[in-house]
Structure 1
Amino acid sequence: MKTIIALWLSFLAFSQAAELKFKELTQDVNAPADARTVTADFSFTNDTGKPVTISKSDPGCSCLKVEISGGKLKYGPGESGTLRATFDLGNFSGTVDKVIGLWLDDDSSATPTMRLTVRIHIPVLVVMEPAKTLSWTVGEKPAPQTIHIRMAEGESIRVTGVKSSSPNFVCEIKTVEEGKKYDLVVSPQDTATPGMTVIRVETDCKVDKHKTQQAFGVVRKASAQAATNP
């Protein structure tokens, strides 16, 4: 029994030898509507009895930049540091999760030792419902479909124009409530062949990144499953 306990304690010590203790493994960040980037700081401490080296970090996305305490990667027992994640908001909206992988010491390159999550909450000023993509099947009746556009609570944003990239799709904006609600009605001229359009919806939003919205119209071939299961 003593041998088993000793082996277990030895395994436990080994499993904790290459760990950094992070104050939080997930950071929630609320981005201002006009922000272009946001940052999240993950503070950590080496509370093991041996030095720990961060051998690799992988943000998993070109939109995320990772910096670790000015380039310091080796931490002795009791030393602390900070990992800063800078997220380029680009055209993202809503809630976005980005995961950072950390490899410590000589761990296998296949799997990170630790994972940190940056959860960014990005305001959606112009909401398109139920979805941004309208779809028709080749050969079906080219009936019009509608995307409902509404502005975020407390915002007054007018739709000023709409443009389709394909002449086969006719787009029309109908005002439901000025500055608050609009309907985008899309009608394909025909559905004889597959095709698509990118629809640009222009608004007078004061925040540049929210000023132009995109929607899509697609005529698709029927799937094999649908064809065999009418």
Structure 2
Amino acid sequence: MKRTILTGLTTWFLVAAGANAGELTFEKTLIEVTAKPDQEQIEADFVFTSSGDSPATIKRYDAPCSCLEAQISDGGRLVWAAGEKGTVRGLFKVGNFRGTVDKQISILMDDGTRHDLTVRMTMPELVKIEPKTLKWEEGGAAETKVFEITINSPDPLKILDVTATNGEKFPYSLKTIEEGKSYRLEVTPTDTETRGFGLLRVATDSKYKKHQNYQAYVVVTKPSMVPATAAKP
């Protein structure tokens, strides 16, 4: 009987201790930031509070992508007393990212708890190319397909040139719909008898270096598999 009572008390104390263990509570675990066209780095601050009755201890923290650096306030302090506030700062190197991309910082606590903090960075695409890839099936029709190019810059932005890595197999023609605003890039493969791949580089007169070159892809792929129709009984 005594053993049962002691076991029950021990369990209660462990649960109570766990409930009051030091922990970090974050105001946000997702921060969305829109970068300016010429911005090289953005910052995202994740504010936290140390909760519980005992200090919260960070065992380690990591940002797997080389484009994202994690910094903890107060010189990288890892132990935070109850009630203290701090910040995990994400430094995102924009590089050649365009569109929207998510990158994470992982915080592992001493008790095994893990916090995943997400930086969602959006770099506006001043030149939008749709689709990103034109595809033909091997052995199919070598028909003309089109990239629609739309300029999303607040100021007119012209296409200066288009070059290709495999222009012999994928001849192309650029047509201006509205100068500085809209273009069509037509591609007609010479044949689809063999598979092939090509890269088209679109050069612009943007004043921002990271927006002076865009890419699109062309490919002749293996025919898609079509399920055979079940034979009728």
What CA deviation, in whole Å up to 9, does each residue of 1:27-55 have, x standing for no partner?
A: 12121111111111112121221111111
Q: Residue 151 of structure 1 aligns to which amino acid in structure 2?
A: I
Identity among equivalent positions (%) equals 40
Question: Does the aligned pair in 2 maintain the 1:41–1:84 contact within 8 Å?
Answer: yes
- Matching residue of 2:106: 101
Partner residue, 2:178: 177
Shift, 1:106, TM fit:
3.8
Match in the other structure for 1:90: 95
Is the 8 Å Cα contact of residues 18 and 104 (structure 1) preserved in structure 2? no
Specify the code of the residue in structure 2 equivalent to 1:92: F
Render the CA deviation track for 1:131-180: whole Å, top value 9, x for unaligned: 11000001111111101001115231111110110121112110000000
The residue that corresponds to 1:147 in the other structure is: 147
TM-score (norm 2): 0.87
Tell me: CA distance 1:222–1:106, structure 2 relative to 1, closer, same or farther (3 Å): same
Letter in 2 for 1:182: Y
Closer, same or farther: CA 200–77 of 1 in aligned 2, 3 Å: same
When structure 1 is superposed on structure 2, of 163-172 and 152-161 the one drifting more is 152-161
The CA deviation at 1:19 is 2.0
Aligned residue in 1 for 2:218: 217
Question: The residue matched to 1:27 in structure 2 has which SS?
Answer: strand
Counterpart pick for 2:25 among 21, 28, 40: 21
One-letter identity of the residue aligned with 1:35: Q
How many pairs were matched up? 221
Q: Is there any run of 5+ residues in structure 2 with no aligned partner, and where?
A: 1-6
Asked if structure 2 preserves the Cα contact closer than 8 Å seen for 1:18 and 1:105, the reply is no
Question: Which secondary structure does the structure 2 equivalent of 1:190 belong to?
Answer: coil
Give the structure-1-normalised TM-score: 0.88
Cα distance, 1:120–1:8 mapped onto 2, change above 3 Å:
farther
**How far did residue 7 of structure 1 move?**
6.3
Separation (CA, whole Å) in 2 of partners of 1:189 and 1:81: 61
The aligned residue for residue 133 of structure 1 is 133
- What residue ranges of structure 1 are gaps of 5+ in the alignment? none
| RMSD (Å), alpha carbons | 2.3
Partner of 1:63: 67
Change (3 A) 1:132 1:8: farther
Residue 183 and residue 16 in structure 1: after superposition, are their counterparts in 2 closer, same or farther (change >3 A)? Answer: farther
Counterpart AA for 2:164:
S
Provide closer, same or farther for how the CA distance between residues 60 and 8 of structure 1 changes in structure 2, counting only shifts above 3 A: farther
Q: 1:33 to 1:13 in 2, by over 3 A?
A: farther
Q: Could you say if the C-alpha distance between residues 172 and 54 of structure 1 is closer, same or farther in structure 2, counting changes exceeding 3 Å?
A: same
Q: How far apart in 2 are the matches of 1:222 and 1:35? A: 42
> Is 95-104 or 136-145 further displaced after alignment?
95-104
Aligned equivalent of 1:51: 55
Counterpart-to-counterpart distance in 2, 1:172 and 1:12 = 72
Match in the other structure for 2:86 = 81
SS of corresponding position for 1:97: strand
After superposition, give the CA deviation of every residue in 1:54-73 in whole Å (9 maximum; x if it has no partner).
11222231211111122211
